[in-house]
């Protein structure tokens, strides 16, 4: 069933999660304490279950992060910290995509171009290769590729299916010289999939990624898709998310059966100080060893969302992580994290 390369689904056993700690001198500065609190909670919850590979600003910053995670009740011996220059915190999109080849992990380092040149990205595009040079991934080989691809733009079910959006992967600001068929061929070869399911609908206001799938619809297992629904007919998103729901309803699993669809509740609209609507979505959850980390927004729908996740992931602990500070920079919990499969992060701790 699997080709030479195989991209494990998020629920496969992990060695750890990669984070790029937000810089205090960048876009996060106005509310840095809240953002750091969010990352601290995230690192703490991950550290209780697996390793955390963190890119930070310098050695003093590394010590500060260790102290914060320790105070929060995390396991600091599982933190692997590396001081490196970064532009921003979105590790999902500048981190490596790890495939299994002949039974062993291989890091694929795609080009990160700031979501089509929207933001500075030169440091972030080098983080994976620099971490590799520092030995952060142990003996895991790394391959640098000439394709622009962000981790947040693809979802796999572990049985040969990839789910993505036309608005992102086919956008001329990513790989302008490539047709859909060429992109499909490369993805089949590089991450070992047999088919690609393309969504045309689901745009969310405030999303600056051109429609990353991880804000919209996510595999929970090989036959279940959780998706961001909207039940408020007066909301501008109602038609678009309803159209996406119909697209999902028409999709079939590899065995020809329809997917089990899990609608996620719709949080109330949140706006920034300029009046721009922010992309709060419960679809931006993260599956880790033994748990599902769910973004919450201080919203009335949070409790309902957590209940839906508990009913869907009956074999995992469901943990709420307050992510309202993250959406002021147009992303959430999954966007700031990248899972690394079993065998990638070495047992020894960094300096």
- Whole-number Å distance between alpha carbons of 229 and 210: 18
Per domain, the residue ranges of the chain are 5-341
What's residue 332's pLDDT?
96
What's residue 344's pLDDT?
97
pLDDT at 162 over 90: yes
Under the banding of pLDDT at 50, 70 and 90, the label for residue 249 is very high
Under the banding of pLDDT at 50, 70 and 90, the label for residue 351 is very low
User: What secondary structure letter does DSSP report for 77?
Assistant: G
Structure tokens at 102: 């002949």
CB 98 within 8 A of CB 107: yes
Q: What share of the chain is helix, strand, coil (3-state, %, to 5)?
A: 30, 25, 45
CB 92 within 8 A of CB 334: yes
Computed over every residue of the chain, the mean pLDDT equals: 95
CB 156 within 8 A of CB 219: yes
Pick the CATH number of 5-341 from 3.75.10.10, 1.10.238.10, 3.40.720.10, 3.20.20.70: 3.75.10.10
For strand 337-341 and strand 5-6, is the pairing parallel, antiparallel, or unpaired?
unpaired
- Whole-number Å distance between alpha carbons of 296 and 64: 25
**pLDDT tens column, 30-86:** 889 999 999 999 999 999 999 999 999 999 999 999 999 999 999 999 999 999 999
């Amino acid at each position: 069933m699997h080709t030479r390369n195989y991209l494990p689904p998020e629920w496969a056993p992990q060695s750890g999660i990669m984070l790029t700690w937000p810089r205090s001198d960048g876009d996060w500065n106005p509310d840095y304490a809240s953002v750091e609190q969010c990352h601290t909670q995230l690192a703490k919850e991950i550290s209780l279950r697996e390793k955390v590979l963190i890119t930070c600003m310098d050695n003093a910053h590394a010590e500060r992060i260790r102290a914060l995670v320790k105070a929060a009740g995390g396991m600091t011996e599982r933190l692997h910290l590396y001081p490196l220059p970064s532009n921003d915190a979105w590790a999902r999109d500048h981190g490596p995509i790890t495939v299994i080849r002949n039974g062993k992990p291989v890091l694929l380092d795609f080009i990160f171009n700031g979501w089509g040149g929207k933001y500075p990205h030169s440091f972030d595009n080098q983080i994976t290769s620099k971490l590799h040079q520092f030995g952060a991934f142990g003996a895991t080989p790394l391959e640098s590729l000439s394709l622009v691809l962000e981790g947040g733009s693809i979802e796999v079910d572990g049985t040969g299916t990839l789910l993505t959006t036309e608005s992102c992967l086919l956008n001329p600001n990513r790989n302008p010289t490539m047709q859909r068929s060429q992109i499909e061929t490369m993805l089949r070869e590089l991450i070992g999939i047999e088919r690609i399911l393309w969504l045309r609908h689901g745009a969310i206001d405030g999303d600056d990624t051109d429609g990353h799938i991880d804000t919209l619809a996510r595999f929970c297992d090989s036959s279940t898709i959780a998706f961001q629904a909207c039940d408020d007919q007066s909301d501008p998103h109602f038609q678009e998310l309803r159209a996406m729901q119909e697209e999902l309803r028409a999709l079939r699993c590899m065995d020809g059966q329809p997917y089990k669809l899990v609608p996620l509740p719709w949080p109330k609209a949140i706006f920034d100080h300029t009046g721009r609507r922010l992309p709060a979505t419960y679809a931006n959850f993260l599956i880790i060893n033994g748990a599902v980390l769910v973004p919450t927004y201080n919203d009335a729908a949070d409790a309902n969302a957590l209940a839906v996740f508990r009913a869907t992931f009956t074999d995992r602990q469901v943990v709420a992580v307050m992510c309202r500070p993250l959406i002021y920079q147009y992303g959430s919990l999954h966007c700031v994290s990248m899972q690394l499969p079993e065998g990638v992060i070495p047992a020894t701790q960094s300096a």
